[in-house]
Amino acid sequence: MERLHMDSAVAFATLNPAEIALIADTAMAIGVPSAATLEGTGLSPTALLHGKAKASIEQHVTALNNAVSLSGDRLLALRAGSRAHITAFGIVGYALWSSATLREALTVAREYAPLLNFKYGPTLSVEDGTAVLRFTDSGGLGIEEAEFSIEFELAKVLTFLRDLQIPHFQPSCVRLLSSCGEHHSRAGTLLSCNNVSNDTVAQIRFNAAWLDHSLSQANPRTHKACTEACDQLLEVQGNHVDLASNVRSILSNASTQIPTLPEVASTLCMSARTLRRRLDLMNTSYSQLLDDVRKTLAIRYVGSTGLTTEIIAEKLGYSDAANFSHAFKRWTGQAPRQYRATSVAQIELPKNVFVGKTRAPRHIQLHAAAA
């Protein structure tokens, strides 16, 4: 099964506010004042009009919830998303437009996902001749918030696909999170899709043959110029984000396995190549950051817990305790057992001091594959 990931980047604190303006405009068309849609976002209609504001995912969610609630229109998220054409995203939109095939356009979308405000995917897979674009929330949204936000994103991506003007392109089905049959029927009419139902993961499905369909507006020179400009925009955006800190955070807070470089890149909404290049410009690398994270956690585990060397090695992704011990001695100059003995010996509580209950330290769990 072929997979192409375009996962959202929660790590990017700012988004292009154009989509919030689109939500406000869609709600205003049916009688909801823009100020009411923006209530609680900290944004003003004037700031959106001049495009000088920056927006977070939380602000996007708040505006969308306000618009749906105040308008009473359950289709509003889909309506607003259907108005998000690729030309609204500037040079990255033209990079999509000038791609040779739909597959290349989707690859561009993955590469420059932050410039397209992708927040919940999509993830592309090819299964038995069917292309499937899936949209998922990382788990931070409520049920209704997830339904509204993902419907907006799904309608936006479906609009992108149609903007590429592939003759006779049509999704075979659309799956929404909502289980309401009436909503499916109305959504099908709005999205021009006869097969809309619910699923645990929202998705757009279409014939995989469309992926390699040549786009009539393809232009290699324009495409190259646009992608080069997109690279520069990502670099500028990256200057406002502490990329190394974000990578460290992702590695430190992994709940199951330590993510690989491509997985970290996907979380940050960029390709592995782009992440390597940008870290190199910062005079660091994924391997160096991973080593730093392992060192910090290893010292914490050895110095302040009773975990065995074998367990710590497993948590930090080493193939065995010997490899971990070798790395630990490289970091500290001491073997784990010697370091622990020294640390314990240095801890001396003053006499006659009442020691009350203390909060147990929170230990980050890293159950990783063997390094």
Give the per-residue pLDDT at 50.
72
Between 6 and 220, where is the model more confident? 220
Tell me what pLDDT residue 92 has: 95
Handedness of CA 281, 92, 17, 119 (dihedral sign): negative
Q: Is the pLDDT of residue 312 over 60?
A: yes
Q: How confident is the model at residue 52 (pLDDT cuts 50, 70, 90)?
A: low
Kindly give the residue spans of alpha helices, DSSP state H, lying in the chain: 18-28, 34-37, 45-50, 57-71, 76-81, 91-97, 102-111, 143-163, 181-191, 220-238, 243-252, 261-267, 272-281, 286-304, 309-315, 321-332, 336-346
Q: Is 75 helix (H, G, I), strand (E, B) or coil?
A: coil
Residue 95 in contact with residue 227, Cβ under 8 Å? Answer: yes
Q: Tell me the residue type at 360.
A: A
- Kind and range of the H or E run holding 196: strand 196-198
| Confidence grade of residue 159 (pLDDT, cut at 50, 70, 90) | very high
Domains of the chain (ranges; CATH) run 2-212 (3.90.1520), 242-371 (1.10.10.60)
pLDDT tier at 43, thresholds 50, 70, 90: confident
β-pair partners for 123: 5, 134
Judge whether 335 and 324 are in contact, CB under 8 Å.
no
Q: Are 77 and 148 in contact (CB under 8 A)?
A: yes
For 189-207, what is the mean pLDDT?
A: 97
Residue 16 has pLDDT above 90, yes or no: no
